[in-house]
Structure 1
């Protein structure tokens, strides 16, 4: 479920962040009286300029009413840090980030590495969509049918322009690009190029993983796609997750 924030909630969060411009603020979105409310908490971290910590007493006080964790990044990094991602996965909650006078909502997606494969819910497209989400780019939802049938219909290539992708030559490959690999003449697998000769992908029957863009994959690459909204800094968000997961 996507967490939608009202303008009043955004103003409350940004006002709290503006009051403490040199330290990370924190708090909860809680369900009260039939709706969401922002409840600021004291940042008890040893160095609140760089980290945040919410006291156990606050977690206990709000309990099951907590719908999201809120904090800010005074240094301006518009992504969840590696430590943020570890904690977010542990809480299984949306996290809201106040940064650069804007509010960003991050779904509680699993870590990018180590996922089990389930076509349609945890597959190569799901992995890429979640990586892009962490980077601040929302890809379209794609309803899948049967895996071989979808591949035979060139599902990704058909929907890629609608999702904001355009095709580029392999010779211009750069971090953030999506590689389509083909089997029996049909593109049936997608990988995220991480740069430095490495890819992130989720193959059928395997755990999602980071590995070299080897000759095996290069020989099977059918096309390369670049998203119009991808920027060089976006890879920081993906790297933050990869560094801190097993």
Structure 2
């Protein structure tokens, strides 16, 4: 398989040249004749997102054969997988071919059970953001939370899907009085937006774990800035 994926690198480099300085993305597909081919896809990513393969392009690729690897470029950067890439490799359960532009160096990485650290992960919307941090935190307690497709800026409109309010009950959370705040509770916040757009885990002793846009995930004091922007406290049924 490695040799077959390596043979696709020249085609990825052509795509990367056309897309630079944005990342290009595509799929390695084994067609009905057994040949491995590169299918270039559109990158739907916006601010603070690395790459998002266009859903229609993905579906069309599936119609032509079997998807055997995810492919994308790292413009002017090392082709080694980032933390977000490594998380994506685990989520897709597929090998990833990453090609540097313009040098053409590349890496091929496979799922290996990687889990990103809770502290210090760079912000990548939809992969490493505040909700992803919450999911990973609760996973450590054996509590699986569903992932939800979310487009950049979902919190800006007055109508449309609401990542938190639409889903917290089905995920096993209930709203509790704010004065009962305790360890493992979730804190919903509204920060410079018309609706709740941030979520933090309360660790106890006045400390929260959260991931703000454009910053690494971190522990921080639950200071007045966050308290004033808190809209609700949620508690999971596993912590009665």
TM-score by length of 2: 0.50
Which structure dedicates a bigger proportion of its chain to helix?
1
Q: RCO higher in 1 or 2 (8 Å CA, sep ≥ 6)? A: 1
TM-score normalised by L of structure 1: 0.49
